Structure 1
Amino acid sequence: MELKSNWSKTGRISQNLLALTLLLLPLVFLLLVVLLPLWTMLQQTDPESYHMVWQDDFMRRQLGWTTIQAGISTFITLLLGVPVAWFITRIQFRGREWVLRLIMLPFVMPTLVAAMGILALFGAQGMLWRGWDDTPYLLLYGNVFFNLPVMVRAAYQGLCQVPANRLYAAQTLGANIWQRFVRVEWPQMRPWLSGAMCLVFIYCFSGFGLALLLGGERYGTLEVQIYQLIAYELDMAQAGVLVVWALSITLIAGLLYAVISKRTTFKATVQVLPPKTPSAGQKLGLALALVLLLLCCAMPILALGWRAISAGSSWQVLLEEDTWQALFNTIRFTVLAMALALLLGFCHAALAHRWAWVRSITFLPFMASPVCVSFGLLLCYPDYTASLSMLIATYALLAYPFITKDVLAAWDSLPVQYEQAARTLGAKNWQVLLFVTLPLLRPALQRGLALAAATCVGEFAATLFLSRPEWQTLTTLIYHYLGIAGQDNYDRAMVLTLILMLVAILIFSLLEWCTARKEKSLC
């Protein structure tokens, strides 16, 4: 009996150590992949040179433009996203469920796909207008295309948290639609919109692919300048100074987002106001909202498809070995990164669910752009430069916060009675996790996986820094063809961009379809 008791005690200790190791894995990962590389980068720079940005006219304009374009893009997405979300949430119309499911499609598009679609519309060979070259409008339009779904989705989630009885009470007291929006709906939406604004600002400020292709020489951002300093001039000192300034600004926005996100937990007991049949004026507003979505989010995708279909003989690029190798590398890197991102995302959500302070570092990968992370990794681990482990770790770093965010939000909203009932029936902690918590979190887990997978498929900046020539992906192959003069090379890039877009849509749709089936079966 004593031997059996000791064996049982040893088993419990082993299980506890394993659980603790898994829980602490995300913290160790962030330390090795983010904090240490950034610290190494700070060591390489001269503190006295930080004021160099303000003395150099070009650098000052670069920092100012990067901040201004992010602010303008955030304001435009807020101005357009709130009314679009209101009409989609409150008005019943045919195809509403499809619009709700497809609203995030532009966001899951790789940035390279978004940039190519916008060039197909307004570039040097644009289908609609060819006067936007070397202007700031291309980049601003690209930011709106990529981030408007984020704002619409946030506003929709905020509206879904408005209790129906409050709206009915306000209507009974004589409040019209506008008064109900200002007095009841807007206060409830504010935390969601504030968090979305911080997130959109970070995406616009630290975006690389859009700025590289759409900004040009005059309207490139800090991320593009950092890449050029490292890749073409090998000026690590000046690049490090710019990285510090970029991180300082994104750190402020990221911390605000982390604080605000605590106030945006779903309330499972809220009775949502069902969508209603629109009046004549509301039908007009709904039509304008759908047209706005078409112009801002669907037109670049349609233009890209049309240009690719019209590429003619350039479709022969699909018969070349380099194309199939790039496709294989893209899928291979995505699968490997998703396996790691799934483990990191769930463990981080479990840790954040237990310890509140861990929530504040959930969005640390969002604060450091891919260019900054890749630069820091090169300095911190020179012996592992262009290694597969470093590339996969970078992919996973940029992807797993999407999983953590959705899983943590769903976990916070689970009724505690489920776990308490399971423990009352004698279930152990691991049994509660496997047979109670995980099945309930599966839809959120798959939803986060969809966004994370789309991020890995279209990753561009980290691949440019950390990849080998033989590890060429679809994104780097597209960029290669864009860098070679000639109409055929441009058409080849369009064809490959269409293939990349279809791969991203396929992965996202499969995961979203599985999520929809699971949620339907639970209802």
Structure 2
Amino acid sequence: MTATTATARRDDTMVSSLPPRPTPQRQFSARPLGVGLVGLWLSVIVLLPLAALTVTSFGDGVSGFWDAVTAPVALASLAVTVGLAAVVALLNAAMGTLIAWVLVRDDFPGKRVVNALIDLPFALPTIVASIVLLSLYGPNSPVHVHLNATRPGLVVALAFVTLPFVVRSVQPVLIEVDREVEEASASLGASNWTTFRRVVLPTLAPAIISGTGLAFARAIGEYGSVVLIGGNIPRRTQVASQYIQQQIEIDRPVNAAAVSVALLVIAFLTLFVLRVAAGRSRRREEESS
């Protein structure tokens, strides 16, 4: 027997002793069904209402749409809404990040209660928040702080309903932050503020931007929490949602739909710009790491 024959027989024996390969099984894929259901649901819940709203807003033509949006009272309500929403978003960007930091990094009595209270605006009907704020800061304020029918009162109401967006966006990211990097920065002599600004903040920036954008979008469309405390004074405290309701009450649905479309465009553009900014910040953070 030659060496080649012996080697071949040994290879055959080894191959025959190996366990049989599992027969590939066909896996059921629900991708077409899932995509179809998602598309159908989004069409019914989102696309069709938006399309109907857009068609209604142009019921009097392009000129009618433009006249409805650029009416002095409409422009004033949009300006008040966007201005207050921007102030509230920036306020919550700072305070929401601080609250998330305290909840993640500090231990104190009642921490679980505070953590649960953050989600209260999600569960509480916004009209209830307006009643509470009116009782607390209205004409008969027990603390002698009168914010009824003032813009500061609107800021307080909007800050209440939008605070969870920033906190819940930043909190999980802060939990995952590598503290060893912070310790290394401190060991090199960096101050706490320098460590936060150069190490922690770039990591949190995408979450802060996203939460701020969501808070802004919620604020420009808010109605329940401001309906009582705001006073609905045209050109002063009347927000766009109250103006829209007023137009519906006086049987001007085209004007109401036109201002609603303007709000949708503002919200979409804001979220799009912030999403791009958050994506760039995230990519810079990945490249630096």
When the two structures are superposed, what TM-score results if normalisation uses the length of structure 1? 0.45
Contact 1:341–1:397 (CA under 8 A) maintained in structure 2: no
TM-superposition CA deviations, 1:427-474 (whole Å, max 9, x none): 222222111111110000011011101011111112211223132121
Partners of 1:434 and 1:327 lie apart in 2 by 35
Partners of 2:123 and 2:185 lie apart in 1 by 39
Match of 2:102 in 1: 351
Match of 1:511 in 2: 274
Contact 2:96–2:167 (CA under 8 A) maintained in structure 1: yes
Q: Secondary structure of the equivalent of 1:461? A: coil
Counterpart selection for 1:302 from 51, 67, 70: 51
TM-superposition CA deviations, 1:369-399 (whole Å, max 9, x none): 2211110121122341222222101111111
Match of 2:247 in 1: 481
Partners of 1:430 and 1:175 lie apart in 2 by 57
Partners of 2:243 and 2:46 lie apart in 1 by 25
Match of 1:373 in 2: 129
After superposition, the Cα gap between the structure-2 partners of 1:387 and 1:284, relative to the gap in structure 1 and judged at 3 Å, is closer
Partners of 1:393 and 1:346 lie apart in 2 by 18
Q: Where does 1:432-511 land on structure 2 (aligned, <5 Å)? A: 432-468=195-231, 469-470=233-234, 471-485=237-251, 489-511=252-274
User: Residue type matched to 1:481 in 2?
Assistant: Q
After superposition, the Cα gap between the structure-2 partners of 1:367 and 1:295, relative to the gap in structure 1 and judged at 3 Å, is closer
Counterpart selection for 2:41 from 292, 296, 306: 292
Q: Where does 1:41-190 land on structure 2 (aligned, <5 Å)? A: none
TM-superposition CA deviations, 1:120-161 (whole Å, max 9, x none): xxxxxxxxxxxxxxxxxxxxxxxxxxxxxxxxxxxxxxxxxx
Q: CA deviation at 1:412?
A: 0.5
Counterpart selection for 2:85 from 329, 334, 345: 334
TM-superposition CA deviations, 1:268-298 (whole Å, max 9, x none): xxxxxxxxxxx6x633542343233223322
Contact 1:329–1:472 (CA under 8 A) maintained in structure 2: yes
TM-superposition CA deviations, 1:3-56 (whole Å, max 9, x none): xxxxxxxxxxxxxxxxxxxxxxxxxxxxxxxxxxxxxxxxxxxxxxxxxxxxxx
Partners of 1:386 and 1:505 lie apart in 2 by 29
User: Residue type matched to 2:39 in 1?
Assistant: L
Contact 1:311–1:492 (CA under 8 A) maintained in structure 2: no
Partners of 2:258 and 2:68 lie apart in 1 by 8
After superposition, the Cα gap between the structure-2 partners of 1:390 and 1:319, relative to the gap in structure 1 and judged at 3 Å, is closer
Q: CA deviation at 1:174?
A: 8.7
The reply on whether 1:394 has 2:144 as its aligned counterpart is no
Contact 2:58–2:254 (CA under 8 A) maintained in structure 1: no
Partners of 1:419 and 1:494 lie apart in 2 by 51
After superposition, the Cα gap between the structure-2 partners of 1:292 and 1:369, relative to the gap in structure 1 and judged at 3 Å, is closer
Q: Give every structure 1 segment of 4 or more consecutive aligned residues whose post-TM-superposition deviation is greater than 6 Å.
A: 172-176
Q: Secondary structure of the equivalent of 2:190? A: coil
TM-superposition CA deviations, 1:222-265 (whole Å, max 9, x none): xxxxxxxxxxxxxxxxxxxxxxxxxxxxxxxxxxxxxxxxxxxx
Counterpart selection for 1:314 from 61, 64, 81: 64
Match of 1:244 in 2: none
User: Residue type matched to 2:86 in 1?
Assistant: V
Contact 1:311–1:495 (CA under 8 A) maintained in structure 2: no
CA root-mean-square deviation:
2.3
Q: Secondary structure of the equivalent of 1:345? A: helix
After superposition, the Cα gap between the structure-2 partners of 1:347 and 1:314, relative to the gap in structure 1 and judged at 3 Å, is same
Q: CA deviation at 1:409?
A: 0.8
Q: What are structure 1's unaligned runs of at least 5 residues? A: 1-171, 179-278
After superposition, the Cα gap between the structure-2 partners of 1:319 and 1:380, relative to the gap in structure 1 and judged at 3 Å, is closer
Aligned length: 248
Q: CA deviation at 1:177?
A: 5.8
Match of 1:201 in 2: none
Q: CA deviation at 1:490?
A: 1.2
Bigger mean CA deviation after superposition, 451-460 or 327-336: 327-336
Contact 1:348–1:362 (CA under 8 A) maintained in structure 2: no
Partners of 1:522 and 1:392 lie apart in 2 by 33
Partners of 2:194 and 2:220 lie apart in 1 by 35
Contact 2:69–2:262 (CA under 8 A) maintained in structure 1: no
Q: CA deviation at 1:366?
A: 2.4
Contact 1:402–1:451 (CA under 8 A) maintained in structure 2: yes
Contact 2:230–2:238 (CA under 8 A) maintained in structure 1: yes
Q: What are structure 2's unaligned runs of at least 5 residues? A: 1-21, 140-145
Structure of greater Rg = 2
Q: Where does 1:424-439 land on structure 2 (aligned, <5 Å)? A: 424-439=187-202
Bigger mean CA deviation after superposition, 464-473 or 343-352: 464-473
Bigger mean CA deviation after superposition, 436-445 or 341-350: 341-350
Partners of 2:125 and 2:157 lie apart in 1 by 11
Partners of 1:297 and 1:318 lie apart in 2 by 23
Partners of 2:68 and 2:181 lie apart in 1 by 55
Percentage of pairs with the same residue: 23
Bigger proportion of residues as helix: 1
Partners of 2:116 and 2:161 lie apart in 1 by 16
